[in-house]
Structure 1
Amino acid sequence: MTIQQTLTTPLAGPAIEFADVSLTLGRTTILDQVSFRVQPGNVHALVGPNGGGKSSLIKTLLGQMPHQGRLSLQWPGEPGTIGYVPQALEFDRGLPMTVDDFMAAMCQRRPAFLGISRHYSVAIGEALERVGMQDKRKRRMGALSGGERQRVLLAQGLIPAPQLLVLDEPMSALDEAGIQVFERLLGDWRQSGISVLWIEHDLEAVGRLADRVTGLNRRVLFDATPKQALTPERLLSLFSTHPRTSGSAA
């Protein structure tokens, strides 16, 4: 897949298999024998309380944390690209860094102060257009609203075009217009066959937009379709279950 190809080109996403994945830091059990499967091309939501291990599971998937058990990506062909959109962007708002500068720094190897290379210019422009930020490319990142910065984070997750997208609460800072942009993107990704693993607190959005939902509070409490998963009984169990050990993991 070359960067010049359109970001809407259909892509084949992988399946993800978590098999008895555990994570212990010191005496704290962060993940306890977590097992579930993300089907290829599905939008799979991960829900649960703060401290329940959702972000830790994502970091484990991205190779950033050690673990026990088995975690595998089952690509339909050659291993593809993984896109990641973090929950928030921490940076010095006083920096004279424009949206274009940020995208260049995230998407290309040459220094951002040299500008966007022609190799990436089209892809960056298209990604920013898809999230409604094309007209703010010269705006300083520090001058953007939280929702606008979140849209830029969504745009950088699209370059290069991913076969798997990992999203850590992408709706948390979005305004209504941004939420509409995100929901449209989610529909595009599903239509393109991209696999999406999506941490989200907005259970109403999960119920409308996800193909499958896993409830995680250190261990898997349910893994089902949204209709089966998001019942009052299951949600009460998920958000009221006390972890076995003390400590926190988002």
Structure 2
Amino acid sequence: MGDTQSKAERSATEPGRDGDPVIALRGVTAELGSRPVLRGIDLTVHRGEVVALLGANGSGKSTAVRTVIGQVPVTGGTIDLFGVPRERFRDWARIGYVPQRTTASGGVPATVTEVVSSGRLARTRFGLLRRADRAAVRSALERVGMGDRAGDPVDALSGGQHQRVLIARALAAEPEVLIMDEPMAGVDLSSQEVLASTLRDQVASGASVLLVLHELGPLEPLIDRAVVLREGCVLHDGPPPRAVGQHALPGHDHVHPHTAHPEPVRTGLLS
């Protein structure tokens, strides 16, 4: 990660970072099964910015990003995407979404290329892949180090490789914004390093990124801002906290249980 451009350097060299946000949640509330999960959160991501959404299990992190893409309805507040109210937003090819790691094929027999190609459909006409679409799919696979597995069935892949395929599927649409829900969870160190390198390239090209994370890990050098949720409320919105102790070790996996009512964490890790 030694060649990573510093956050200060990115801010100085990329125009428009402080302009209108590409994602803006204002006073957003949401429920799951009549249970309040988000209690009026404000969250913004500006162009070219990398924002980490942190918090304990059940704090509302995943629900927050799912409201952005419309998977969870909001009960109050507003969401704007590229300055357009989400309910009127139609240009979804500009946003790439990587869900929490799951079987990339969704249980349907498919090759790696077939899964990644599905991410390109938003930019096709009538679902037909042209030469440029196939090139974008190949490029996405190469960026996540899966070019040599293009013809393999996804069921033959490891967990880390599944995650790479899901990220390649999002990259295939050449999005301006990447939204990723715990991309490092349960992923081996080598895949973590590949994913960090992939994101570094995306950020260098001007993409905006919203990440749900348990801890910053190898992505820490890329993070501009951290937003910490607690019980559906924003506890902190500012500079990313530093990892210390065991959490700072390479390959540390955040698997220990969270307390029901965590105290504000001064190291930035909600344990």
TM-score by length of 1: 0.77
Residue of structure 1 in register with 2:184 after alignment: 171
Quick check: 43-52 or 185-194, which moved more? 185-194
Give the unaligned 5+ runs of structure 1: 1-9, 233-238, 244-250
Q: Tell me how far apart the structure 2 counterparts of residues 151 and 12 of structure 1 sit (CA, whole Å).
A: 30
Q: Tell me how far apart the structure 2 counterparts of residues 220 and 241 of structure 1 sit (CA, whole Å).
A: 17
Aligned pair partner of 2:35 in 25, 28, 31: 28
Aligned pairs for 1:59-208 within 5 A:
59-67=66-74, 68-74=76-82, 81-90=94-103, 96-108=109-121, 117-205=130-218, 207-208=220-221
Q: Tell me how far apart the structure 2 counterparts of residues 94 and 163 of structure 1 sit (CA, whole Å).
A: 29
Aligned letter for 1:102? V
Residue of structure 2 in register with 1:246 after alignment: none
Shift in alpha-carbon separation, 1:134–1:215, aligned structure 2, 3 A: same
- Per-residue deviation at 1:241? 6.6
- Percent identity over paired residues: 37
C-alpha distance after superposition, 1:115-155 (max 9, x if no partner): x6534211111110111100011111101111111111110
Q: Tell me how far apart the structure 1 counterparts of residues 34 and 152 of structure 2 sit (CA, whole Å).
A: 46
Q: Secondary structure at the match of 1:147?
A: helix
Q: Tell me how far apart the structure 1 counterparts of residues 219 and 260 of structure 2 sit (CA, whole Å).
A: 21
- Per-residue deviation at 1:15? 2.9
RMSD value, Cα:
3.2
Q: Tell me how far apart the structure 2 counterparts of residues 178 and 199 of structure 1 sit (CA, whole Å).
A: 17
Shift in alpha-carbon separation, 1:104–1:205, aligned structure 2, 3 A: closer
Q: Tell me how far apart the structure 1 counterparts of residues 126 and 148 of structure 2 sit (CA, whole Å).
A: 23
Q: Tell me how far apart the structure 1 counterparts of residues 200 and 219 of structure 2 sit (CA, whole Å).
A: 13
Give the unaligned 5+ runs of structure 2: 1-13, 85-89, 246-257, 263-271
Q: Secondary structure at the match of 2:101?
A: coil
Aligned pairs for 1:14-25 within 5 A:
14-25=21-32
Aligned letter for 2:72? M
C-alpha distance after superposition, 1:181-220 (max 9, x if no partner): 1111222222222110000113334543311000012110
- Per-residue deviation at 1:30? 0.6
C-alpha distance after superposition, 1:153-181 (max 9, x if no partner): 11011121111110011111432221111
Q: Tell me how far apart the structure 2 counterparts of residues 39 and 91 of structure 1 sit (CA, whole Å).
A: 29
Q: Secondary structure at the match of 2:172?
A: coil
Q: Tell me how far apart the structure 1 counterparts of residues 222 and 162 of structure 2 sit (CA, whole Å).
A: 23
Aligned letter for 2:261? H
TM-score by length of 2: 0.72
- Per-residue deviation at 1:240? 5.1
Is the CA contact (8 Å cut-off) linking 2:193 and 2:218 kept in structure 1?
no
Shift in alpha-carbon separation, 1:144–1:230, aligned structure 2, 3 A: closer
Aligned letter for 2:31? T
Residue of structure 1 in register with 2:240 after alignment: 226
Residue of structure 2 in register with 1:41 after alignment: 48
Aligned letter for 1:153? L
Q: Tell me how far apart the structure 2 counterparts of residues 94 and 190 of structure 1 sit (CA, whole Å).
A: 32
Q: Matched residue pairs, number?
A: 224
Q: Tell me how far apart the structure 1 counterparts of residues 96 and 104 of structure 2 sit (CA, whole Å).
A: 20
Q: Secondary structure at the match of 1:65?
A: coil
Bigger relative CO (Cα 8 Å, ≥ 6 apart): 1
Quick check: 45-54 or 172-181, which moved more? 172-181
Residue of structure 1 in register with 2:261 after alignment: 242
